[in-house]
Amino acid sequence: QADVVPQAPEDPLFGLMAAYRKDTSPNKVDLGIGAYRDNNAKPWILPVVQKADDIIGKDPNLNHEYLPIAGLPEFTTASQKLILGADSPAIKEKRVASLQTVSGTGAVHLGALFLQRFYRPNTDRTVYFSAPTWPNHNQIFSNVHLPYATYPYFSTKTRGLDFEGMINTLKNAAEGSIILLHGCAHNPTGVDPTQDQWKEIAKVMQEKKLFPFFDCAYQGFASGDLNKDAWAVRYFVEQGFEMLIAQSYAKNFGLYGERAGCFHFVTSPAPDAANTSTRVGSQLLILQRSEISNPPAYGARIASLILNDPALFAEWEENLRTMSGRIITMRNALRSKLEELGTPGTWNHITDQIGMFSFTGLTEKQVMKLREDSHVYMTKNGRISMAGLNTHNIDYFAKAVDKAVRE
């Protein structure tokens, strides 16, 4: 029977990573996957993570037993505080059901599965993604058979937010539609709404009874300030939305392969909100048990130790500033080098955009040319992971871009 299974295409991002590894050129530059690199293009173990790792390694009580289905309790409660704020009324009123997940992808999946099972059955349940979005969003929601559409997000003209397009689409979406929003540091564009624009988005979503699902994979990477980066999520909670949150610790702790993440269901304020939250939580436990039984422990132990210890937490904030600071330095350097070279086009968007990525505006043809001629690897949509740039390769990269743009 297996002879009817068609060949699937390679995952574009992991395929790109494999192609980069195979390339033997000493000049090769990896700007593909969103993973932080130090100034020598090497993965960076955050010093605070190393410290936590050492502490855990010396713990005589450490074992490899199963975690509870919902994960490590001190990890999920600390995760609530990190994203919602320690003094969030939603936490105080027990309106948040949280489960540890297989990183952000697992959290998005658990949310998608929950929606498919319980959200407004027999109505239009279209999920709206920003155009463009992280490509895995489409796959995750198609796996649970929820229909999806897109809202305009990126303006190719301004290389900023197409706010009007976005708002108009939200205004015309069917009541109850699910709106996937990036909490901060939008992937792939590096373009976020301003606080005023978020307020307008929330207002329209409330009027139109749209359901927010926040994907937060970059808290700490947009501004370097964890609270500031959670502003949009906290604003929506303040407005009384019922909403879902997917939280990833891959990027901000550099725990990519450890798959530490968290899923939160926030119930609207109501007299019976805590009961609703308990019921929702009980269903989420069944879904989790049937999918992964219980989540992996190691990454969550590291994150939990840091999140719950004020001194380690402060050190983590310092490490985050190191990462976001180096990325900002690279943004400034890239922009000024392209401007010095007189590379055709405008390059202010490189410094206007935030977070881990820049959406360069390079065409697919130019991207392929950069790969073939200069051994520079980036996704076909012209996204670059800023952390792949460093003081050793930035001149080389700027010159390669200059050449590709002029051809």
The residues of the shown chain that bind ligand LMR, judged by CB under 6 A, are 13, 33-34, 134, 136, 187
* Interatomic CA distance for residues 183 and 219, integer angstroms: 8
State the first-to-last Cα distance of the chain, in angstroms, to the nearest integer: 50
Nearer to ligand LMR, 34 or 71 (CB): 34
Distance CA 354, CA 222 (A): 6
Which CB sits closer to ligand LMR, 134 or 347? Answer: 134
What residue number has its CB nearest to ligand LMR? 34
| CB 131 to ligand LMR: min, Å | 16
Given the residues 134, 231, 316, 347, the one annotated as active site: 134
- Stated as kind and residue range, the H or E segment containing 77 is helix 73-84
| Residue pair 172/179 in contact by the 8 Å Cβ criterion | no
| Among candidate residues 134, 17, 87, the one with its CA nearest the CA of residue 150 | 134
Q: How many CA atoms lie within 13 A of 250 on its CB side?
A: 21
Answer yes or no: 134 catalytic.
Answer: yes
Catalytic residue among 30, 162, 215, 229: 215
Alpha-carbon Rg for the chain, nearest whole angstrom, is: 21
| Greatest alpha-carbon span in the chain | 65
In the residue annotation, 399 being an active-site residue is answered as: no
State how beta strands 211-216 and 178-182 pair: parallel
215 is catalytic: yes
Pairing of strands 29-30, 376-377: parallel
Q: How far is the CB of 108 from ligand LMR (least distance, A)?
A: 11
Quick one: 128 or 256, whose CB is closer to ligand LMR?
256
* Catalytic residue (one of 251, 316, 337, 347): 251
Residue that has been written with the tokens 């530059």 in this structure: 29
Identify the CA nearest to 85 among candidates 230, 215, 201, 186: 230
Tokens read off for 315? 């050190």
Task: Give yes or no for a contact between 399 and 46, defined as CB atoms under 8 angstroms apart.
Answer: no
Closer residue to ligand LMR, CB minimum distance, 35 or 266: 35
Least spacing, CB of residue 390 vs ligand LMR, in Å? 18
- Kindly state the smallest distance separating residue 107's Cβ from ligand LMR, in Å: 13
Compute the least distance from the CB of residue 147 to ligand LMR, in Å: 23
User: 107 or 305, CB closer to ligand LMR?
Assistant: 107
Contact between 201 and 161 under an 8 Å Cβ cutoff? The reply is no
Distance CA 336, CA 214 (A): 34
Measured from the CB atom, is 187 or 288 closer to ligand LMR? Answer: 187
Looking at the annotation, which residues are catalytic?
A: 134, 215, 251
